[in-house]
Every structure is written in structure tokens, then in C-alpha cells.
Amino acid sequence: MILSLGPGSGADIGARLYADRLQKMWGQPVVIENRPGGDGVIAINAVIQAKDDHVLLWGPTANFVGHPYSLDKFPYDPKGARAGGARLRHRGHAGRAGEP
């Protein structure tokens, strides 16, 4: 899981709590990698350059909503919300009702 904010931030704490639950649910390790800076663009680039489809992006949606108004060039298509072959979407919860 790539996080667009630094260690110890509120989002970092939330991501680590969420990763712990995913780890239990999937039975696989979930690693948090902090990639702060560039208004989230550094984290987005890390997701785009990932060599597999097992990478999650975690960060505040406000960063990405403002990109079309604050950036001239994008590492992704802001209209189609595509990063490489992956689709970027806001998701409140990855599990089903009743799951951790």
C-alpha cells in the first residue's frame, strides 16, 4: 500500500490500521510504503510504475480533486482517472458488510 503522506500522519495511522485488517482478511502481508511530496504525485507515480497489480494507493481525495486545477502535466489521465493500466478510484471500504 503506497501512502501519499509521511509516517506518523493521521492518514498513515489509518492506513496501518486498515492494512492490519486486510492482512487478517487476506492471510497475506500488507506493507505500507510512505511516498510523501508533490501533492500526491510521487505516490501516484510509484503506483503507475509498480510491476504488478497488487499495489494500493492510499491518500486524501482532496489532493487528486485539485490536480486538474493546480498542475499543468499529469502522470495519469485526470478525466478518466487512469494510471497506467490501473483505475484510480475513491473507495470507502474494500471489504463486504460484516467483514473486518
What is the tens place of the pLDDT at every residue in 70-98?
888 777 766 655 544 444 454 444 444 44
Are the C-beta atoms of residues 48 and 76 closer than 8 Å to each other?
A: yes
Is residue 98 assigned to a domain? no
Is a pLDDT exceeding 80 seen at residue 3? yes
Question: Facing residues of 57 across strands?
Answer: 2
Structural domain includes residue 97: no
**In-domain check, residue 83:** yes
pLDDT at 24 (0 to 100): 95
Q: Supply the pLDDT for residue 78.
A: 64
Report how many domains make up the chain: 1
Q: Tell whether 96 is covered by a domain.
A: no
74: closest CA among 86, 82, 57, 36?
A: 82
- Give yes or no for residue 61 having a pLDDT over 70: yes
99 lies in a domain? no
